[in-house]
């Protein structure tokens, strides 16, 4: 997961830097393939930015600036963890509020878009045939567990930093509720724009790139390109992704290093400092 998030953060760093161009490279332009029936410019992300190859054995399509960003993100993560958890906590207090502020601004923009109700209907109207299938409940459960951070020990690690006598019930109930409400709020914001695009282009929502990574690197950039001063908003959005990604990355790395260090201490092995473990990890 740490390597996976490093890659996402590296991509976000590149998109952040690309946001300062006079013409956003992912904006709709005359260079799109003729006959394209969507206004998202999905080709930029897969073809121009990632330069995707046909298989993992094809190493002739590597992108040096993405590799450089990956290395820089790794160094930032090490420096932050090396400086102790307090540094990560300070960073999170800056990163997370900024994410909510930007999300709220996007929500206000979505309320002004024509056709927003089309997206909201698609988001909330149930498809009863899918509700009664086993797979949809598996997907829902896995998303909920992953979103809440269960199974990666980060919650236990963070709880260990609570002071003696501090209530554990309130955050145990409040954090999942806040996580759920944030997901709903972000979904309403995104689908207001998706509904607008469907209304404007006539393309059904189910045919739009709204799955997986394309949400962050195709759908949201398209949304931001409709704003006045799109360079500013794009830079702010991808900076937010970098902040959120680093905040999550700190948890993954700290959990792994603390666990391994505890094993050495528990079984009286050679003392290994957390700094060295962080550097190796």
Q: DSSP string covering 77-93, please? A: HHHHHHT-HHHHHHHHH
Burial of 178 (0-12, 13-18, 19+ CB in 10 A): exposed
Label residue 35 by pLDDT band (50, 70, 90). very low
Residue 48: per-residue pLDDT: 85
Beta-carbon neighbour count of residue 203 at 10 Å?
15
Residue 274: per-residue pLDDT: 65
Structural domain of 257: 2-280
Mean pLDDT of the chain: 80
pLDDT of residue 91 exceeding 90: no
Strand locations in the chain (E): none
Which residue is associated with the tokens 């390597």?
3
Question: Which contiguous run of DSSP H or E holds residue 162?
Answer: none
Is residue 278 a contact partner of residue 78, using CB atoms and an 8 Å limit? Answer: yes
The better pLDDT of the pair 278, 5 is held by 5
- For 117-128, what is the HEC assignment? HHHHHHHHCCCH
pLDDT of residue 188 exceeding 90: yes
pLDDT in tens, 69-78: 888 888 887 7
pLDDT of residue 113 exceeding 80: yes
Label residue 150 by pLDDT band (50, 70, 90). confident
Give dist(CA 262, CA 272) in Å, integer.
10
pLDDT in tens, 212-266: 777 788 878 877 887 788 898 889 889 888 888 887 787 777 777 777 777 766 6
Give dist(CA 262, CA 252) in Å, integer.
16
pLDDT of residue 60 exceeding 80: no
Q: DSSP string covering 171-190, please? A: HHHHHHHHHHHHHHHHHHHH
The better pLDDT of the pair 134, 91 is held by 134
Is the dihedral angle over the CA atoms 200, 201, 205, 209 positive or is it negative? negative
The set of residues, in sequence order, having a beta carbon less than 8 Å from that of 7 and lying 6+ positions away, is: 70
Residue 185: per-residue pLDDT: 92
pLDDT in tens, 161-185: 777 777 878 888 888 898 889 989 9
pLDDT of residue 36 exceeding 50: no
pLDDT of residue 11 exceeding 80: yes
Average pLDDT over residues 17-25: 90
Chain centre to alpha carbon of residue 138: 22
The total of structural domains in the chain comes to: 1
Question: Which contiguous run of DSSP H or E holds residue 133?
Answer: none
* Least confident residue range of 3-17, 146-160, 174-188, 190-204: 146-160
pLDDT of residue 106 exceeding 50: yes
């Amino acid at each position: 997961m740490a390597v996976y998030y490093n890659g996402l953060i590296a991509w976000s760093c590149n998109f952040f830097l690309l946001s300062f161009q006079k013409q956003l490279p992912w904006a709709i332009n005359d260079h799109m393939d003729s006959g394209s029936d969507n206004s998202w410019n999905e080709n930029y992300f897969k073809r121009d930015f990632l330069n995707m190859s046909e298989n993992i054995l094809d190493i002739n399509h590597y992108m040096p600036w993405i590799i450089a960003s990956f290395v820089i993100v790794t160094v930032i993560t090490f420096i932050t963890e090396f400086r102790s958890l307090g540094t990560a906590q300070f960073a999170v207090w800056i990163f997370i509020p900024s994410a909510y502020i930007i999300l709220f601004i996007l929500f206000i923009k979505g309320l002004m878009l024509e056709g927003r109700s089309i997206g909201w209907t698609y988001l909330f109207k149930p498809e009863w045939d899918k509700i009664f299938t086993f797979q949809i409940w598996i997907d829902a459960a896995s998303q909920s567990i992953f979103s809440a951070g269960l199974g990666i020990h980060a919650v236990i690690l963070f709880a260990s930093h609570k002071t003696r006598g501090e209530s554990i019930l309130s955050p145990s109930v409040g954090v999942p509720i806040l996580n759920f409400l944030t997901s709903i709020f972000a979904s309403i914001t995104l689908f207001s724009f998706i509904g607008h695009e469907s209304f404007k282009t006539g393309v059904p929502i189910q045919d739009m790139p709204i799955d997986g990574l394309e949400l962050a690197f195709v759908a949201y950039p398209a949304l931001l390109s409709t704003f006045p001063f799109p360079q500013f908003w794009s830079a702010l959005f991808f900076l937010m992704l970098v902040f959120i990604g680093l905040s999550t990355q700190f948890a993954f790395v700290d959990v792994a290093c603390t666990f391994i260090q505890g094993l050495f201490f528990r079984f009286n092995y050679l003392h290994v400092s957390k700094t060295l473990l962080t550097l190796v990890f």
